Amino acid sequence: NAGVTQTPKFQVLKTGQSMTLQCAQDMNHEYMSWYRQDPGMGLRLIHYSVGAGITDQGEVPNGYNVSRSTTEDFPLRLLSAAPSQTSVYFCASSSRDVNGYTFGSGTRLTVV
Amino acid sequence: AQSVTQPDIHITVSEGASLELRCNYSYGATPYLFWYVQSPGQGLQLLLKYFSGDTLVQGIKGFEAEFKRSQSSFNLRKPSVHWSDAAEYFCAVGAGGGGNQFYFGTGTSLTVIP
């Protein structure tokens, strides 16, 4: 089925470890974004991309890196995980027509 | 700066009763506005959106929302709530040059009692 695929679904990291959250979409969407969801804080934009090779920072970019080498993929990298990065992470994509983002099912990350 | 406020953290309604979830936004230009629903452990599903034109928009699952520019509001309504509507609801504003930067409210949790 067409949509946004996130892997892994669950991950436990130790403080200081690095990892990459994967996100892929097969709808040929130009726009892709990463959000984190924390209790009582809604979803906050981490990074976004308006096309291959173009990325920009959102509200809470510190501690995260992104790249967009292809239209389909938009990985999120944690270079040195901290307990404050314990959260649920959502990737989303949208066409240029701004019809609303399609969300992946999320990655639940715990940093201990 | 753009922001979205959902003043009600939690709402409880009886099945069959009407529902209104409040959303206020702050944005300098004409906003793109959205409502999403999230069931436990799931991603977000788009309910409806407003870009321009008719200020009353219809969405999926029997939901509607009304854009009121004078009140900077985009409240979500449903005439008769079903038990399956219990979920978290998020209002969002699309900002940036192409409306592609989404800013979400903190959400309203809906409980439906029989």
Q: What is the pLDDT of residues B23-66, one digit of tens each?
A: 999 887 778 899 999 998 888 999 999 988 889 999 999 999 99
DSSP B63-98: -EEEEEGGGTEEEEEESS--GGG-EEEEEEEEESTT
Q: Give how far Cα B61 sits from Cα of B39, B47, B84, Å.
A: 14, 8, 10
Residue percentage of chain B with pLDDT more than 70: 95
- State the amino acid at position A111 in one-letter form: V
φ/ψ of B70, rounded to 5, equals: -65, -25
Q: Is B42's CB within 8 Å of A105's CB?
A: yes
Instruction: Determine the pLDDT at residue B80.
Output: 97
The stretch B8-28 carries a mean pLDDT of 94
Is residue A8 reached through a cis peptide bond, with omega within 30 degrees of 0 on the bond before it? Answer: yes
Distance (Å, rounded) from C-alpha B54 to C-alpha B62?
A: 17
Instruction: Determine the pLDDT at residue B44.
Output: 92
Instruction: Determine the pLDDT at residue A70.
Output: 96
Instruction: Determine the pLDDT at residue A27.
Output: 93
List of chain A residues with pLDDT < 70: 1, 98
Measure B51 CA to nearest chain A CA, in Å.
Answer: 9
Measure A81 CA to nearest chain B CA, in Å.
Answer: 23
φ/ψ of B15, rounded to 5, equals: -60, 135
Among partner residues B34, B43, B90, which is closest to A104 by beta-carbon distance? B43
φ/ψ of B68, rounded to 5, equals: -125, 105
Confidence band, pLDDT 50/70/90 cuts, at residue B95: confident
Q: What is the mean pLDDT of chain B?
A: 91
Among partner residues B42, B46, B101, which is closest to A100 by beta-carbon distance? B46
Strands A31-38 and A42-51: antiparallel
The stretch B5-34 carries a mean pLDDT of 92
Best B4, B60, B104 residue to mutate vs chain A (most A CBs within 10 Å): B104
Instruction: Determine the pLDDT at residue A17.
Output: 97
Residue A39 structure tokens: 């209790």
Measure A79 CA to nearest chain B CA, in Å.
Answer: 24
Within 8 A by CB and 6+ apart from A10, the residues are: A107, A108
Instruction: Determine the pLDDT at residue A42.
Output: 87
- Using a CB–CB cutoff of 8 Å, tell me whether B49 touches chain A: yes
CB A76 within 8 A of CB A21: yes
Instruction: Determine the pLDDT at residue A1.
Output: 62
- State the amino acid at position A45 in one-letter form: L
Lowest mean pLDDT among A39-48, B4-13, B56-65, B91-100: B91-100
B44-72: burial string, b at 16+ Cβ within 10 Å, e else: bbbbbbbbeeeeebebeeebbbbbeeeee
Per-residue model confidence as pLDDT tens digits over A9-41: 999 999 999 999 999 999 999 999 999 999 888
Instruction: Determine the pLDDT at residue A91.
Output: 96
